[in-house]
Chain A
Amino acid sequence: AQKVTQAQTEISVVEKEDVTLDCVYETRDTTYYLFWYKQPPSGELVFLIRRNSFDEQNEISGRYSWNFQKSTSSFNFTITASQVVDSAVYFCALGFSGGYQKVTFGIGTKLQVIP
């Protein structure tokens, strides 16, 4: 069975602090994809990143970075020098080849950045 666990349901940080959102996944497949989406208070879901199982390189995009570790089945997301605009619910998701219908979403982590 496929499962995505986001153990942190809510996190509060003070602006400019760094924060890491955890994502642990379970799958028996050897080929899979991991995603992060952001859901700001306005409600829409915004795609942040996709990583396939063959590519364990970490990625940095501005203040955002992602740490993919197959050994621990984790795909963690770090925001450096957080800003109020980062306040949102962040979803980690696990998908497989053969169609997006096989994507499993975590329950989300609500991040509040306090000014």
Chain B
Amino acid sequence: NAGVTQTPKFRVLKTGQSMTLLCAQDMNHEYMYWYRQDPGMGLRLIHYSVGEGTTAKGEVPDGYNVSRLKKQNFLLGLESAAPSQTSVYFCASRALIGAWDTEAFFGQGTRLTVV
């Protein structure tokens, strides 16, 4: 059981380049999330999705776009990377059982460096 898988695990981008991070979950979870983790700031929510075809902004959405065309996949896009987007990105998923009965499962993270 793979759980939540993020691709790639590492990436170096030049300023202005674009890229897409892929998150795939095999647990049939309804909710999926993208976070970024920065030193001294914990995890901050970028975007999230409550179901296939739906997305919403989180705490720090600027500079990112997302899509959830299939239930199992949640893509995070950077259209024009900036050094401020250097971070570790985590994807998470959660089942919808009541409003709050389940914990989130996280991927292993993607370390992105923008130079």
- The chain A residues found within 8 Å of chain B, CB to CB, are 4, 9, 33, 35, 37, 42-47, 50, 52, 91, 95-101, 103, 105-108
Contact = CB atoms under 8 A, between A and B. Distances in A.
Secondary structure class of chain B's binding surface, majority of residues: strand
Nearest to B108: A44
Interface of B: 31, 33, 40-45, 48, 50, 56, 58, 88, 90, 92, 94, 99-100, 103-109
A96 B100 CA distance: 8
A91 B106 CA distance: 13
Nearest to B98: A97
A44 B104 contact: no
Nearest to B103: A47
A56 B29 CA distance: 29
A50 B102 CA distance: 9
A103 to B, nearest CB: 8
19 contacts: A4-B42, A37-B106, A44-B107, A44-B108, A44-B109, A47-B103, A47-B105, A52-B100, A91-B42, A97-B100, A98-B99, A100-B31, A100-B92, A101-B33, A103-B104, A105-B42, A105-B43, A106-B42, A107-B40
